[in-house]
Amino acid sequence: MFTYSLDNKRYHTLNYYYRTTFQQKVFKVSLNANFTCPNFKNGNGCIFCLHGSNDYDTINNSDLIKQFYEVKNILEKKWPESLYIGYFQANTNTYASLSVLKEKYESILNLEKVIGLSIATRSDAISDDCYDYLDELNKKTFLTIELGLQSSKKETLEFINRGHSLENFKEAVLNLKKRNIKVVVHIINGLPYESKEDMLNTVKFLNALGIDGIKIHMLHILKGTELERIYKEKPFPILSKEEYIDIVVEQLRYLNSNIVIHRITGDPNVQDLIAPDWLIKKFCVLNDIDKEMVRRNAYQGDKC
């Protein structure tokens, strides 16, 4: 069995990480604090993005506490002893005044059985005051910052209208790491005109930065996005399931074994999805990645 797994996975699972860190079941509860996104506000946003957040784009006007308990009350019926991490997932969750951030973060932190926060944001949306506040939070709770990168290829960042440079991203990671704040990074495989080598270079770049975790997504084209318009006007190749699995397995092999794998496939809204349709069968993709790692006798970090 791989060192960092409790269920015969050959990569460092989030379940293993939480279980060994807290000795009990931990759940992340997704929250929408109705933040916006500087890239979406100042322009058209990333070309793949629907509402400023590709993974959690539904506007939720309900109270944060209400959102939290709607999920917690369901989970507690099966796992009464579980602990919780408030996951500020929708849009850019440091893009507000410090007073607003404190009010929203601490309203969740003050709840019973909440042992930490996971905050999704952008590298160009963390002010100096915010870094100082995150440093304070990190000293009193289990804090993780999630940063979107998508690709380490500069031409790709420009093409997808990412809105920040690779240098800005690197600076943000280093600023967080020097404060001992855990960093999880999102990347996307299958971005237009990228090669397999480009995608492997992205994880090699992140390896060198010493990140703590990663979320690997497959590019999916959603209705109403700029990416849909580009795809319809000039279709570009989309990775097949087999190509995606091949790339993910090789990416895992190049990642340090101590990097936690938070996600290895996307989870699009079926109603908005244009392509690829194979993403709908999420668990088939996950199982096929496991099978391919066994077939290759591959483990996370064995090429690192």
CB 290 within 8 A of CB 283: no
Residue 1 located in a structural domain: no
* Nearest to 288, CA basis, from 256, 247, 257, 259: 247
**Number of residues that make up the chain:** 304
Q: Is residue 3 part of a domain?
A: no
Distance of alpha carbon 96 from alpha carbon 36, whole angstroms: 9
Q: How far is CA 190 from CA 9, 37, 128, 136, 287, in A?
A: 24, 24, 34, 38, 20
The Cα 81–Cα 14 span in angstroms is: 18
- pLDDT score recorded for residue 52: 45
Over residues 279-304, the pLDDT tens digits come to 999 999 999 999 999 999 999 999 98
The answer to whether residues 68 and 86 touch, using CB atoms and an 8 Å cutoff, is yes
Q: Could you tell me if residue 304 is inside a domain?
A: no
Q: Is the pLDDT of residue 145 over 80?
A: yes
**DSSP code, position 148:** E
Residue 300 lies in a domain: no
Evaluate whether residue 219 is within a structural domain.
yes
Residue 213: strand, helix, or coil = strand
Taking 60 as the threshold, does the pLDDT of residue 265 lie above it?
yes
* Mean of per-residue pLDDT scores for the chain: 93
Residue identified by tokens 């009193």 is: 140
Residue 301 covered by a domain: no
Do 108 and 138 form a contact (C-beta atoms < 8 A)? Answer: no
Q: Is 302 helix (H, G, I), strand (E, B) or coil?
A: coil
**pLDDT given for residue 50 in this prediction:** 80
Is position 158 within any domain? yes
Q: How confident is the model at residue 51 (pLDDT cuts 50, 70, 90)?
A: low
Q: 254 and 200 in contact (C-beta within 8 Å)?
A: yes
Distance, CA of 117 to CA of 142 (rounded, Å): 6
Is residue 20 predicted with pLDDT exceeding 80? yes
CA-wise closest residue to 277 among 210, 214, 220, 205: 220
Q: What is the mean pLDDT of residues 67-85?
A: 96
The torsion angles phi and psi of 285, rounded to 5 degrees, stand at -65, -45
* Token reading at 17: 């990480």
Task: Let me know if residue 2 belongs to a domain.
Answer: no
CATH for 157? 3.20.20.70
Please tell me the total count of domains within the chain.
Answer: 1
**Full residue range of the structural domain in which residue 116 is found:** 14-295
Measured distance CA(261)–CA(197) in Å, rounded = 20
pLDDT at 56: 45
